[in-house]
A and B are shown apart, each in its own frame.
Chain A
């Protein structure tokens, strides 16, 4: 089943990565790729990597904005904006923009009245219903001027593939692949979108986003547990707030709020463009200067200053759902720039990286109490993250058995570091992974854009493996001791609702 636009943030799962390789593979580093790097006068960073092969090109635009740049009351706005940026511009997706504009204003006014009424002591439900109907009628009237999905259709007719977007805690990405004779089409469309987007079909798209939330969270036991677990682990940092947004916030978002959010965060100085494939970097740079350099830069977005207070004791939550149980555990750690991060990444691999990892062997092979165990660092990069472990217990065991076994394995690491051979196997996998990660144009474009957006240097992502190589067994033991402590632990358990049949 194809799910079109939008992929809300998912944690990066550290699974089988890489290995200890000598010779040519170890020399493939990635940070010496011939990336053509240009900073346009308006601050936009352009990264171009020419690659031989089929005449195709992958495009990624990454804006340094996401769920962390929201506030209670407007949660989900970054994600809704991502959807609305496929609705066209003043000339794309419309037959007559001048004619639709007054209808937008009338809808916005009606929506303001609805919100004011809802906030009152005893809302007049009849009036609210009438106003909602008025908004629907106005949107239907405005729809007569709409050319539906024209932005996507233009790309599709021109052979576009992988058209999609995603919103994470810290970034919003838009991407597509095109035949390499269509490079200028991408610049023309994207420049137009950066300059003159129109958030038409606003209320209908808000309904679509609410449906996405129902699919990914409300009716999905894993999604629900993940959201509730983060909310328990973070008491005030925005990492605890879902990128999809809360339903009541989604119902209250307005078009002017989204327009303001776009103005504030979507300046070219807050964007990275990565283009990888069958391209001539000089020509791409010329196109970037033609199409993108004239877009005015904006004020720097306000920084996120929230700091999660230290956790003062273990937290436990239960989430009820009509489903079999599952377990999530998380400890507060550090941000992606911290010197301890490489050791934490190695720890994740030691614990759950492949069939010979400690937790897989203990839970799945030896004790046979779980079908699956994963670990990850997340939910973002820029601010202190969680070290997370999730496990799916077998029906013949209990969540408590699984949690106890995980704690025992962590204690083993606290008492004795992993041996050199164990870490060497992890390094080998990582270095082999370095070769494989160079195989896909789109994958490379994501890496370049992501690294430049987070670290201000596209090379940093490739240099992580060098930092991982330097991690020693005692480093791994030290981060276990420092971060995987009881007082910083949050446990989330999915349980069947009280009174529901426990049988399959």
Chain B
């Protein structure tokens, strides 16, 4: 059976799915709701203007005078995944230390005092893939706020005391990783699946000697990552382009060029051998994680069917099969969900997670496997597919709630080389997915019998031995 879902939508003038007829006379309840008529929703989302400054830095700008606030985002390509293990701690610390370590001109205390006086709000973050910094500043403090933020990012001081505070915190976090069963499960699972690839790394004492966070290493990473050819900037809020142009030009004009291109990210080799792993913990609830390698990529034809399929399986909350079966029907868990990552290069993961009381551990694990298997055995209904598309299409407008949200997304697309209309293309493509496409993508790429399963829990309280799922490897 092949039924194509059809949701009328023009991207810039959204005419969302309408109901059937008007009817205020019906009593409350189903009849009244089914007879509601929704007028078309017309909306022209604002579009950022794109500029280039300082010899090629892309800057996206969208004016929004609603509040006297200006928001900035700067994104940098690359993270710890591009560097060898000896740089792992320094690359992980970099965004935080850029924020807290002062600048070459100003010690951390002075920076904190100025941030407070000027009421600057910032976030600095990043990971293996790329990093970012944001600034939210009242319009009346725009010039001084931008100058200070730019100075911090361009010329960080890496104050040794702040480096030491970060190191102490990282050592403590490593010690506390086993405190929370879910954190323990997810980090261990990554290590099992990704081995020595950076995704499987965890910061530990061996990564955190003082020399691992030496000034030279931090400065070298900063030079490689936070350089002019490696960044995209976004500006939204109460400022016109003519007003912000000279300020950004001044900020960027001395920004160093990248000395050499970044090495490409390492492609992971994900474990392909199935297995059951147990971390014994004296708890009344088990954490269950399962997954296998997936070879669906974001640029593949199968990608859109995998998105719809993952949503039906377990990525759409209450509408998903996993929630319906594991939570609503059996009461095994507060939540159950699926994951299906589809990177642009290299393998991803497909699987499911839940947490359940000890005496239902094996039953809940089997149920997850069964529900995944059913996705390959028969097509989802037309209505399941339509519902997933409607959810995305009718909620599409929520991707344009604020200028800051629009610009933030566009800067990310530009950084990772996605077309700027990627979201609109996605909406179009998922409407072409049929129930048979969904079954086929599961049949081709998902094999429950090959899942790696990890459970954190108390085996003495399980309803039957975990060996019922296969040979068990106990991890200490």
Contacts and interface: CB of A to CB of B under 8 A. Distances in A.
Contact of B175 (A425, A432, A441, A504): A504
Contacts, number: 254
Interface stretch (A1-9, A62-70, A335-343, A464-472): A1-9
Given A24-B139, A177-B398, A371-B169, A188 B329 contact: no
A290 B22 CA distance: 15
A410 interface: no
Interface residues of A, number: 96
Interface string B294-318: 0000000000000000000001111
Interface stretch (B65-73, B191-199, B421-429): B65-73
Nearest to B287: A219
Interface stretch (A53-61, A108-116, A117-125): A53-61
Contacts of B29: 89-92, 192, 196
Contacts of B474: none
B324 interface: yes
Interface string B378-421: 00000000010011011111101110000000000000000000
Contacts of A364: 165
Nearest to B395: A159
B119 A19 contact: yes
- Among B30, B45, B330, B355, which residue has the most Cβ atoms of chain A within 10 A? B30
A307 B71 CA distance: 47
Nearest to B238: A24
A213 to B, nearest CB: 9
Interface in A34-88: 52-56, 86
B285 interface: yes
A25 B140 contact: yes
A438 B66 CA distance: 10
Interface in B51-104: 66-69, 100
Contacts of B260: none
B282 interface: yes
Contacts of A324: 172, 175-176, 179
B144 interface: no
Contact of A161 (B24, B315, B395): B395
Nearest to B386: A157
- Main secondary structure on A side of the interface with B: mixed
Given A148-B329, A211-B356, A218 B40 contact: no
A154 B33 contact: yes
B28 A28 contact: no
B41 A181 contact: yes
A230 B253 CA distance: 56
A218 B328 CA distance: 22
A355 interface: yes
B393 A159 contact: yes
Contact of B394 (A157, A290, A394): A157
Given A92-B29, A188-B33, A425-B116, A179 B171 contact: no
A55 B175 CA distance: 47
B401 A53 contact: yes
B36 A2 contact: no
A54 B43 contact: yes
B264 interface: no
A182 B171 CA distance: 50
B180 interface: yes
A214 B172 contact: no
A379 interface: no
Contact of B402 (A91, A431, A436, A439): A439
Interface string A192-228: 1001100001011111111110110011110000000
A322 B176 CA distance: 10
A136 to B, nearest CB: 10
Contacts of A321: 179
A1 B337 contact: yes
Contacts of A323: 176, 178-180
A358 B285 CA distance: 39
A158 B387 contact: no
A211 B329 contact: no
Nearest to B181: A219
Interface in B178-220: 178-182
A311 interface: no
A185 B136 contact: no
16 contacts: A16-B121, A25-B138, A54-B45, A54-B401, A89-B29, A149-B323, A159-B393, A179-B16, A179-B394, A188-B28, A189-B33, A355-B100, A355-B108, A355-B112, A395-B172, A436-B136
Given A54-B400, A56-B401, A210-B357, 8 more contacts: A92-B30, A149-B324, A157-B391, A159-B396, A195-B28, A211-B332, A219-B283, A355-B100
Interface of A: 1-5, 16, 18-25, 28, 52-56, 86, 89-92, 143, 148-149, 152-154, 156-161, 163, 177, 179-182, 184-185, 188-189, 191-192, 195-196, 201, 203-212, 214-215, 218-221, 290-291, 321-324, 354-356, 364-365, 368, 371, 392, 394-396, 425, 428-429, 431-432, 435-436, 438-439, 441, 504
3 closest cross-chain pairs (CB), A and B: A159-B394, A207-B331, A432-B119
